[in-house]
Every structure is written in C-alpha cells, then in structure tokens.
Amino acid sequence: MPDFSPFDSGARSPVFFDETLVMLRDQIRRFVETEIKPHADAWETEGATPRALLRKMGDLGFFGIRYPEALGGSDLDQRATVVWAEELGRSTYSGVAITALVHTDMASVHIFNAGTDAQKSKWLPRCIAGEAISAVAVTEPGAGSDVKGIATRARRDGDDYVLNGAKMFITNGVHADVYCVAAKTDPEARPSQSVTMFLVEKGMPGFTVSRPLDKHGWRSSDTAELSFRDVRVPAENVLGREGGGFYEIMKNFQNERLVIGAMAMGEAQAALELTVEHVRGRIAFGAPLWEKQGIRQRLAMLSARVEACRQFIYSTASRAAAGEDVVREVSMIKALAGELVNDVMYDCLQFHGGMGFMRESTIERMTRDARVQSIGGGATEVMLEEVAKRM
C-alpha cells in the first residue's frame, strides 16, 4: 500500500478530528477488513448484504452513532457520521456501504426526527441493534428529486389511512422491516403541504415488493420497486404531522447528501490507493508505470482534489454540528464529490489497463458502483441549482 494515510491532515486538525473520532475510525476500519472484505464478493453475486452482518454492525454500536444514549446510541455529531460513511466507502464494496448508510442516515433518522415517543420506543432500539432494518420510500417512477411530484396517495378512512401507489429504486426495499413512505394526503393543497410520511411495516396487507431491481452497480445492495394497493395504515403510524412530510424530507436531505458525499470521497481515496499500488508494481517499457511523469502527476492532482473535498466535508460537518445552516455547502459537496469520484475512477481504471476492464478487477467494480454517485440522493444538476439559488 502507498506510504500515506488518508486521514493524516484531518487527524492533525483539532477543529475537525478528536480522539473519539480516531477510535471510531479505527474500529470501523478493522470491521471492514475482517467482516466485509473477505466475504463481500459472494454478496455481490447474491444481490444483498446479509442480515447477520447488519446485526453485527448493530452489536458494535455503528447503527447508533448519532442517536441518544437512552436509546442505545453514542450521541455523537455529524463528524462521526462522516467518519462512518467514509470508512464504508473505503471498503470498495459500495453496495454494502449504502445498505448500512440508508438504514442509519436516510431512513431510521426519520423516525428519530419526526416520530412520536411510541414510534421511537417501538422501532429505534431495534434499528440501533440491527434487529430491524429500515428503508425510506420517496422516489417514484415519475418523481425522483422532484418530491412535490409524488403521486402515491393516502386517503383517511376512520382510524386508518389507505395507501395506493408505487415507489421505485428503494434501497433495502426487499428486506427492510419498516419503511418511511411519502404519500400525498391532500392533492388540492400547495405541493409543499400535501405530502405526509407514514411508517409502513412489512407484512401489511396490500404492501408488496413488485420486483427486485437489477442494477449496473451496488450489486450487494437490494433495491426494489414497491407496490401499495389499498394498504391500511393506522393513523398512529403517521410520522410527524399530516401535510408536513415535504419539510421532513427536505430536512434530512442535508444529512443524506453529506453522507453520500463522504461515502464518495472514501471510494475515491480507496481507488487512488489501489491504483498507486498498481502502477508502482506494473512494469511497462522496462520500468514501473509510476516512473511515467504523466501518470504520477495525474494521480497527484486527483489526490489533491480528494483531499480538498475531504477537508470541505469535515469542515461542513463541523459547522452542521455547531447548528449552522449548511444547505449551500452540502449541495456543493454532493455535486462536487459525485463528479469527483467518477473522475477518479475513470483515470484509475485507465491506469489498470486491460485488467481494469475485467469483472475480476476491484477497480472495475468500484467504477460501476461510483457511477450512481452523481445521480442518487440528488443529481448533480439539481444540486447545482440549489447552489445557484444561494449565490
């Protein structure tokens, strides 16, 4: 491996890093090396991350990093979330990474942010322990980043709501136990006041997985299309207030996009380390590829861009932890990291030559996995519009 640490600059800065975060990073890194890397090729073939692994993550406290100690969590801040996401990204198995990150930072977080005491008591201890896995169901065939375009309906009927509609591209969609589902409860209201979030539980009559989806990358993450046909959801399963779902979704988008940016940055760093090792050992025209000035300078520039992105992410996480409004910065991070990781993968695969094009190659898998980073969680174009609004 190359003789540098991807955390050196962050670890030297007391503003962004402290002893607790170093210990957390090291614990996650050991887990990745012993519990993920030796086994994850099989999970790529199977199309899902095993529940046994997720339960181990829960046992070690990884699923409770941001939750209060009273619920079984560690009560840490956004910097810890970034450490968690970056280390999972560095695993080189992004399907495993996104399975865990959706559960911790994109789905169960809705229960914590908007749930009643009863909802939290029922679900969060189980989610933190890894006994129950969560998913968030917002995206539809005709509504992705445009949350106001949601077509799924929820009609009040006595003590229940009746849900009808479909959701698309739902991570953990096949195997989750509880789903945070967005549906329109008042189509006549203003778009920002028409959406409500519901807790839909596996096994509710009329709720089915229409089909698992066959993806270009993230092969060890189960992704599904969901169907809701006259699903009766008790009114007590409303998350937050009726008509407040749009704001709940928007509220967590900032955390979600910061997490995805950190994951992408971890992927980019791992690809660089892998490629530096490769070009130092690959002999061409009588010398290692590392001796070619053009190659090592391109890798050096990519390394500089990744380090700049890392510092931006940790700075933003620190500001978020201090209660600052970082919508602009998070939108920048999502756009920047999503594009940067694809730039890194393109060059890293190129420098692996023909072997980089083979399915047996780690960099080939990583390149496929990285492609979605400029799409999922807010496409680059959408993020840049958010930035432009604030210029």
What secondary structure does DSSP assign to 62-94, as a single string? GGGTTS-GGGT-----HHHHHHHHHHHHTTS-H
* Predicted local distance difference test score (pLDDT) of residue 314: 94
* Predicted local distance difference test score (pLDDT) of residue 143: 74
**Which residue reads 């789905």 in tokens?**
107
Output the six-digit token pair for 219.
């092969």
* Predicted local distance difference test score (pLDDT) of residue 4: 39
- In this prediction, the residues of the chain whose per-residue pLDDT falls under 50 are 1-14
Find the angle CA(344)-CA(250)-CA(148) to the nearest 5 degrees. Answer: 105
Taking the domains of the chain in order of start, what are their residue ranges?
8-133, 135-243, 247-389
247-389 is a CATH 3.40.50.11540 domain: no
Cα–Cα nearest to 278, from 368, 359, 371, 353? 353
For the domain with range 135-243, which CATH number is right: 3.90.1150.10, 2.40.110.10, 3.30.365.10, 3.40.930.10?
2.40.110.10
Stretch (H or E) spanning 310: helix 293-321
* Predicted local distance difference test score (pLDDT) of residue 17: 78
- Within a 10 A sphere around the Cβ of 267, how many other Cβ atoms? 31
The residues that are catalytic are 256
pTM: 0.93
**What does CATH list as the number for 8-133?**
1.10.540.10
CA dihedral 134, 138, 139, 144 (to 10 degrees): -130
How many CA atoms lie within 13 Å of 245's alpha carbon, on the beta-carbon side? 31
Cα–Cα nearest to 275, from 340, 374, 371, 361? 361
* Predicted local distance difference test score (pLDDT) of residue 15: 58
Output the six-digit token pair for 190.
């203003």
Q: Which residues of 89-107 are buried (b: 16+ CB within 10 A; e: fewer)?
A: bbbbbbbbbbbbbbbbbbb
